[in-house]
Structure 1
């Protein structure tokens, strides 16, 4: 095999590395503005395949007409240069698409589609021309021509695919965590141009590399933050990119009636449609659990879930597992109310969120004052399947907005949860509901939980969310139990101030739920076939909610 022929095969392999490397950066650029849901991934994968198809067709046509390897290397060089332009124009294009389509049904999907069309079409199409060109060039040199066509095409396809595999893992496991999405794009840009320069030995390609260096310098000089804090009245404290999320930590000042300012820290992920953790800084000064409450947000209600059982003593609540702990808002409330000796196992899939929780939210898992508090960086369902511990309460808030992982909504998942509960243990789920009160997601989760737990109860928060409670063993009349326990807690709170927070949340649950007081979820209310690992159409359900909200449906 000639030296030039061997180099061509190396080019095919390295082009595969670059092509999939660029593709894996796409969702990272989209996440802060449109999230990381399945429809967004569908845009990335679908449009990449479309660009590859166009590139294959175009490359084959041009290779037959101009079978010159210099043209192939120029395509690679231009792909690299265009790749270097993406970080500079990505933010304004993303902001434009997000703003223009914010009020449109399925706006996130359409916005992501527009951005991918504008930013990534040209470099990916150019890179896709490499395979057909390589096949044509090798057949031109082959001794037996068409007799080696199958072998030649197979070799080129295999090398390109192996390169794509390397590019995928190199980008996801090494480059993105170490240097971020923009620097990764500049690195691939330089890589492709250097590859083209080796093939062409043309000073003009060297100038392209200089342009990439200048663009990188301009980007680093002008870069401040990826985007401003997503919440109203917020000041951005930190932003990070992880393997799973674009993360923002912000400080927010809430002004109460009378002018009292309440500073707090909030955690937002990806497109920022929801707050995932809240920490009221006033608690640092007072140590009063009342100052951890979030005015009736869903975090406040997990601590009262055990009281659907009759004559429940707060001292009986001694263990808690939190699946999707984020920066630790809910475990912090459990520790403040039930005491520092409470055994808490918190599970969070994103280690960067845990790090930010320790830095900005006073996460207690490494504090000697709370010796039984442990954070596990793991997938919630995998962790649950591998632990042998039993708990009084298992909370679930691993549901990103607006989409939620299907495997945390199924009969099989809740069966695993039930198996890890103590006899009078409860499973607690934070279920989102739009401002209109559309309860389809709440009903679907309740219907699924009812297939596993003997009884399910609903607490409506002061906002739109619903808290679903599944009991391990029958509680009897859980609402009456809750009312009587609330009376007992009110008496205890007169002498034990840590129970005042329980007293207030139980009062909210009975009197200030946005859509009603605490109540049972009965089989006659269940409108959905329980979700299973085989069939859990949660994305389609949420798409329907989004569409209804967008058009103001009834």
Structure 2
């Protein structure tokens, strides 16, 4: 009896390293692609539900859930009796499924937003539902691949199974890391979230072709034909619903930015900036001092009453539509303003589409509002510090802590004012109580104001909070310029005792927990 290997085994042996390299490459590429989709998902859902801790938590949970189910299915498909050709075809089909579901995520997301968001669900439940409908299928299909590739790799060297298994796990993790970095730092800012999805689907198609085109090739023809038909159907659906078109005028690494004509609402030449899903200011082309946002008009009213001369020094935490800097350019000939707007794309959109014209009186820095402020000398230099960096119920924790308030107080001129807007519940503003309590540690006076219509509301409202050394001498303020409005100072007793509220610090600022009542209550959805 001869110990020599059969000819088929001998000819296959030199190809084993090539196949192992192919399996490793496919696993790395597939893992990277799945993470690219995860990061792109955050940008894709932002125009519908915003971007917050809740959206990212939902996305991560949905993707991990899909991958887990996919891994289980892939393990079932990698049965002991399936030969290499069968495993390759199953891998190719899984990659093709990942391509189709990734492409299909765009029209599914559009459909889910149209159907789910008007249902009146709580913001949190709406985020989870929309995310699941759009992105669980691409993750599931991508998850099927890993067990199949690992099984084929182990079959090549069954005597070295442990080393092969560890290598495949490591390559999967490395691919996931690479995909995360590439999506976040390169692809989305370069080709946009939809372009990233198209490119990822193309990568999946290429990987699918590599595994489907094994002998006998004829078995791949029905699969390829079905894939083409499904792709055509998805393309038709996406084109009909315009799901493949970006809703953004500009998509940056931070936001989806859109500027819409607001003239139908005002009867004047005006435009509104929408960042992700939320309007961030309306600018009037001919009258910069005409302020349509009631909280901006209130800040303007307070400032005009306290600073009647031609001089004003101001620091803005967030630029948005640059509505107030633009208004104060017209109102204060000797304005000295510094705006911290972290996204240069927001600033450019305001210049290009909202008639904002930076000059020597308004300096704009692409920086975080806290970091820029703390880089300035800790000496009085601003009459007004305006915090306008909050997005809906998403509140950057580092901008509401005692340490940051101390930094602001140190840079306010005598009689200066720190003012911010807070979107909260009218009946149980838990975060507002914590914020007011914290502000009292840095400022002598803290006031909370509401516009007249908001004061009558029982839902979600926009509070304006003033902090400084001198209170306003009234509990009622009528507008003296622009749109006729009325604001009321809210007595502290009206929003509950401060004793039980936590003090917000850099070490402990449970902002998201304090805003849970807003995210879980469907009645507080605008």
TM-score (norm 1): 0.78
In 2: Cα distance, 1:197 partner to 1:42 partner: 34
In 2: Cα distance, 1:116 partner to 1:44 partner: 6
* 2:433 is the alignment partner of 1:443: yes
The SS at the match of 1:243 is coil
Aligned to 1:382: 371
Contact 2:329 2:361 in 1 (8 A): no
RMSD over aligned Cα, in angstroms? 3.5
Aligned to 1:277: 281
In 1: Cα distance, 2:319 partner to 2:493 partner: 26
Q: CA deviation at 1:551?
A: 8.0
Q: CA deviation at 1:247?
A: 2.7
The SS at the match of 1:444 is helix
The SS at the match of 1:530 is coil
Give 1:192's match in structure 2, choosing from 191, 204, 207.
204
The SS at the match of 2:100 is helix
1:522 to 1:297, Cα distance in 2 relative to 1, 3 A: closer
Contact 2:383 2:413 in 1 (8 A): yes
The SS at the match of 1:550 is helix
Q: CA deviation at 1:210?
A: 5.5
Q: CA deviation at 1:50?
A: 1.3
Aligned to 1:293: 291
Q: CA deviation at 1:196?
A: 2.1
Contact 1:321 1:391 in 2 (8 A): yes
1:128 to 1:29, Cα distance in 2 relative to 1, 3 A: same
Give 1:135's match in structure 2, choosing from 150, 158, 164.
150
Aligned to 2:139: 124
1:459 to 1:76, Cα distance in 2 relative to 1, 3 A: same
In 2: Cα distance, 1:347 partner to 1:225 partner: 34
The SS at the match of 2:309 is helix
Aligned to 1:267: 273
Q: CA deviation at 1:228?
A: 12
Aligned to 1:183: 195
TM-score (norm 2): 0.82
1:222 to 1:319, Cα distance in 2 relative to 1, 3 A: same
Contact 2:388 2:421 in 1 (8 A): yes
* 2:17 is the alignment partner of 1:2: yes
* 2:412 is the alignment partner of 1:421: yes
In 1: Cα distance, 2:491 partner to 2:308 partner: 21
Q: CA deviation at 1:136?
A: 2.3
Q: CA deviation at 1:425?
A: 2.7
1:388 to 1:214, Cα distance in 2 relative to 1, 3 A: farther
The SS at the match of 1:536 is coil
Contact 2:281 2:323 in 1 (8 A): yes
1:521 to 1:360, Cα distance in 2 relative to 1, 3 A: farther
* 2:260 is the alignment partner of 1:246: no
* Structure 1 stretch displaced more, 31-40 or 523-532: 523-532
Aligned to 2:31: 16
* 2:321 is the alignment partner of 1:327: yes
Contact 1:307 1:481 in 2 (8 A): no
Contact 1:84 1:212 in 2 (8 A): no
The SS at the match of 2:299 is helix
In 2: Cα distance, 1:313 partner to 1:184 partner: 49
1:17 to 1:7, Cα distance in 2 relative to 1, 3 A: same
* 2:69 is the alignment partner of 1:54: yes
Q: Deviations over 1:452-482 (max 9, x none)?
A: 22222333334533322222xx43xx33399
Q: Deviations over 1:28-50 (max 9, x none)?
A: 22111111121121110111111
Aligned to 1:407: 398
Give 2:361's match in structure 1, choosing from 345, 364, 372.
372
Q: CA deviation at 1:94?
A: 2.0
1:467 to 1:113, Cα distance in 2 relative to 1, 3 A: closer
Q: CA deviation at 1:323?
A: 0.6
In 1: Cα distance, 2:241 partner to 2:335 partner: 44
In 2: Cα distance, 1:67 partner to 1:218 partner: 37
Contact 2:100 2:231 in 1 (8 A): no
Q: CA deviation at 1:440?
A: 3.6
In 1: Cα distance, 2:271 partner to 2:417 partner: 29
The SS at the match of 2:466 is strand
Unaligned runs of 5+ in 2: 1-15, 455-461
In 1: Cα distance, 2:83 partner to 2:412 partner: 68
In 2: Cα distance, 1:167 partner to 1:129 partner: 18
